[in-house]
Amino acid sequence: MSAPRLVLLALAALLATGGAFWLSSQRHLERAVLVGDPVLPQLRAALGEVAELRLSRGDGTQVTLQRAAEGWQVVERHWPVDAGKLRKLLLDLAALEIVEEKTHDPARYPVLGVEDVAGPSAGGVRLDLKTSNGAIHSLVVGKPSGARAGYVRAVGASPSYLARPQLMVDAQPARWLDTSLLDIAATRVAAVTLRGGNGPARTLQGAQLPSELAGALTALALQDLRPRPLEPSGGSGPPTRRARFLLRDGITIDVEGVEDGPRRWIRLAASFEAANAMAKPEDLAAEAKRLATRLDGREFEIPSYRYSTLFALDPAAAPSPAALPGLQGRFD
C-alpha cells in the first residue's frame, strides 16, 4: 500500500476517533446540564400563585385542593385542608430536581409507574397544578426509588426522570383533611348526660363524672367526614348512642353516635343558653355559632377508641342521678 494511502487512512481513523470523542463529550455535557435542573422550572417563581392542585388515579380516585376565600379546601369534602401537608407538597414540587434521565420508551413507562393515568391498571398518580393566571403544570408521579427520590414524567412529554425529593402524593380525599374537630378542655365540662338507644338518660356530674369522659372532646380528631343524611333513617341509619356535654360557660355540645360496620361516626351540634353563661354572653354565643356552622349537616368518622370513650358508660348499668337544670327531658 502506498504511503499517501496510508496517510489518508490514518487521518480518517483519527477523525473518526476524534468525532466519536467529541460526540461523547457533547452528550456528557448535555447530561451534566440536565442533572440538577428543576422539573417544574416555572413553578418556583409562581408558588404563591397556586390556586388548585388535583391528584388522581386510574381507578377514578381523586382529590381536589382549592384555594378559597376562607383558606384551602378539600373540594370533595367541603372541609379545610391539612395546611402543613399541602405546604410540604408545594415546596417539594418547587424543589423537585432531576437526578437522572430515564426511559423515553412508552412500553417501559409501567416499570417506573409513569405511564398515562388512563385506566385502573395505571401505577402512578397524576398531579395537575393550576395557578391563578391559568397556567397548568401536570406530572405523572410514579414509583419511589429509595427513601428520597422517585420517578416522574411530565404529562405529554417523552422523557421520564428520577427526581428528588420523593413526592408524597395520595389521591384519597380523607388523607388531606384538617383532622382537628373539637378541643374542649375537660375543665370546661360541668356535666354529661348519656343515653343508649331508647333507654333512660343518665347524667354524670361532679365526683360521678369520670375524667376520661369529661375529656372526651379534648383534641378530638376526625378520620373522614360525609354529609349527614336528610332522612333520620337514611344513609348511615339512626344514631345508636347519644351524649350531651354541658359546659360551665353555658355552651352545650350534643353528640350522636352512628355505628356503620367497623367504622364509627358521630354527629355534632352546638348551642348556647345565656341563662347558664359564666362569661360574656355575646362571646359565648359567637363561639357556639362558629361551632354550629362548622359541624352542622355532617357526620364525622373518629377512631374507635375515642368513640368508646364517648359512649362506654351504659346508662342502664347504674341508677340515674338527678339531672342538672336544663338537661332534663332534652333527649326526649
What is the SS3 assignment for 290?
Answer: helix
Of 176, 207, 241, which residue constitutes the final position of a domain? Answer: 176
Domain holding 229, by residue range, is 180-317
pTM attached to this predicted model: 0.81
Q: How many residues does the chain have?
A: 332
What's the confidence (pLDDT) of residue 42? 87
Cell 338518660 belongs to: 201
Residue of 221, 216, 219, 220 whose CA lies nearest to 204: 216
Both 249 and 202 in one domain: the answer is yes
Per-residue pLDDT of the chain (332 residues; tens, 9 = 90+): 555 554 444 445 544 444 443 343 334 334 444 789 999 988 888 888 999 999 999 999 999 999 999 899 999 999 999 999 999 999 999 999 999 999 999 999 999 999 999 989 999 999 999 999 988 999 999 999 988 999 999 999 999 999 999 999 999 999 999 999 999 999 999 999 998 877 789 999 999 999 999 999 999 999 999 998 865 544 566 788 999 999 998 899 999 999 999 999 999 999 988 665 555 777 888 888 999 989 999 999 999 999 999 998 755 444 444 444 444 444 44
Q: What are phi and psi of 322, to 5 degrees?
A: -60, 135
What's the confidence (pLDDT) of residue 44? 83
Both 144 and 249 in one domain: the answer is no
Both 313 and 272 in one domain: the answer is yes
Of 176, 196, 226, which residue constitutes the final position of a domain? Answer: 176
Of 147, 176, 205, which residue constitutes the final position of a domain? Answer: 176
Number of domains observed in the structure of the chain: 2
Both 258 and 155 in one domain: the answer is no
Asked whether residue 7 is domain-assigned, the answer is no
What's the confidence (pLDDT) of residue 52? 97
Both 129 and 195 in one domain: the answer is no
Both 271 and 296 in one domain: the answer is yes
Q: Is residue 101 within 8 Å of 157, Cβ to Cβ?
A: no
